[in-house]
Amino acid sequence: MDEYLEFIKKVQAISQIGLSYSEDEYAVDNYKELKALSTNMLSKYTGIPHVDADLYQTVMYPTPQTATRTMVINDEDEILFVKEKDSQKWSLPGGWCDVDHSPKESAIKEVREESGYLIEIERLVAITDRKKYLKTRLYDIYYLIFSARVIGGEPRCNHETLDIKWFRIDQVPELSTKTTKEELMIAYHVYKHNRPVYVD
């Protein structure tokens, strides 16, 4: 792996995320400068035209976005849920797959960030097409849903989460749109009965 190239790509991804979500005008200016520098660096390093070196603005063939959700289960057969700040509802921990992480690495990272727990992925239990479960979905998104167990860490909320709790499958709290009851039941059934990976 070309570590220098991966570093430039990561810097460009961070700057694009900052431009997409930051509301601080000074931060936005810094992200713009960071993106311009990394785009120029990528163009020089690879020899590709400057316009093509802006990886996250280049018009590409439209494809679904990919995100992870992780069903962490303890010895009492309880599932880990996080309460989201934005919706005030509950969800399996998860988020977008980062450009420099594998799906498994992304899942581990999201659980650690949102709950404080360090986990070990056991298996992939489901791949869901979100438009099947959310009829008003604007973008096409594929979920990779994993099962996992805790191997370390302590419960800790972050800027996205308000609470962390364990629930049995028959005591599931009110869920946000980031985890539908149908997707949860599909994933749990595959896990509980050791079924093949469910794929939409």
Task: Express each pLDDT in 36-48 by its tens digit.
Answer: 887 888 778 877 7
Looking at per-residue pLDDT, the higher value among 164 and 57 belongs to 164
In this structure, the number of other CB atoms found within 10 A of the CB of residue 176 comes to 18
pLDDT tens profile 58-80: 555 667 889 999 999 999 999 99
Instruction: Tell me the three state secondary structure of residue 51.
Output: helix
Which two three-digit tokens encode residue 56?
A: 């996250």
For residues 70 and 124, give the distance between their C-alpha atoms in angstroms, rounded to a whole number: 9
Listed by start position, the domains of the chain span 3-53, 65-199
Q: Dmax over Cα atoms in the chain, in whole Å?
A: 57
pLDDT bucket at 162, cuts 50 / 70 / 90: very high
Per the CB < 8 A criterion, the answer to whether 119 and 72 are in contact is yes
Of all helices (H) and strands (E), which one includes residue 2?
none
Region 98-124: mean pLDDT is 95
Superfamily of domain 65-199: Nucleoside Triphosphate Pyrophosphohydrolase (3.90.79.10)
Query: Model-level pTM?
Result: 0.77
